[in-house]
Amino acid sequence: MAEKPQPFDPLDPEQAARRAAARQRLDAIDPAKKPGEALKDPKRREWFEAVYALSEGDPVNVPWGHLVANPLLLNWLAGQIELRGKSVLDVGCGLGDNAAALAEQGATVTAFDLVPRAAEWASDRFPDSGIEFRAADLFAPPPQWRGAFDLVHETYTLQALPAAILPDARKALVDLVKPGGRLLVICRARAEDQESDGPPWPLARSDIEAFSECGHVLEKLEDIPPGLTPSRHWRAVLRKPA
């Protein structure tokens, strides 16, 4: 039976205070928060591993541990009719809530995270979901995943990577999509000329449009104002030509 936890409640002062304290601890050990240091470890592997290692199994200590699927994914899924039986890959799955929402649509879901502890944690939370949770690196995925998925979904992983590695990340995402399949990207948005003191680094429209350099066609790009999420977001659907 899937765990049915209470979602993280940012309006609960006790939870909010514990999350803020965790964020402060994690920022203090994040080289990307120190100008000029982000590129030494462009994948930020050590920091992502530290997030899960230092969490002591408490999702409040994981900045993206909301224990509920992203509202912009849920809202997108509500308009989908054809995911049953499709192969779906969830990239950077974290604690697994987005993967679980995709599986509830009847899709055959594989979900992966760079950090083995994240994949194990997600798997423990959704043992009966049928989802294959595993540790893998977007930049070195299992060869059998290349061109294998009807839908590749990523929320908040691109924005967690420095700009210099985005072209490689886009190519890696596109490589996983089946010809004729789709890529769904959900991320925070910024204006083209807006400075960002990330991580996370909200993406500009040009960062999304650059998927066309990898041969993907931008089917739909929504510029979503704060509402369902606290800040402006992009929701992009890209199609790999058949």
- In the complex, which residues of this chain contact ligand SAM (CB under 6 A)? 43, 48, 64, 70, 92-94, 98, 112-115, 118, 137-139, 155-157, 160
When the beta carbons of 156 and 180 are compared against ligand SAM, the nearer one is 156
- Residue closest to ligand SAM when measured from CB atoms: 92
State the minimum distance, in angstroms, from the CB of residue 241 to ligand SAM.
25
When the beta carbons of 74 and 217 are compared against ligand SAM, the nearer one is 74
Helix (H) or strand (E) holding 88: strand 87-91
CB 208 within 8 A of CB 186: no
CA–CA separation, 51 vs 156, rounded Å? 15
DSSP string across 125-156:
H-TTS--EEEE-BTTB--GGGTT-EEEEEEES
Tell me the helices (H) and strands (E) count for the chain, helix number first: 7, 7
State the minimum distance, in angstroms, from the CB of residue 88 to ligand SAM.
13
When the beta carbons of 115 and 177 are compared against ligand SAM, the nearer one is 115
State the minimum distance, in angstroms, from the CB of residue 49 to ligand SAM.
8
CB 136 within 8 A of CB 157: no
Question: What are 57's two structure tokens?
Answer: 């199994």
State the minimum distance, in angstroms, from the CB of residue 214 to ligand SAM.
17
When the beta carbons of 112 and 211 are compared against ligand SAM, the nearer one is 112
State the minimum distance, in angstroms, from the CB of residue 118 to ligand SAM.
5
When the beta carbons of 141 and 181 are compared against ligand SAM, the nearer one is 141
Q: How many CB atoms lie within 10 A of CB 50?
A: 16
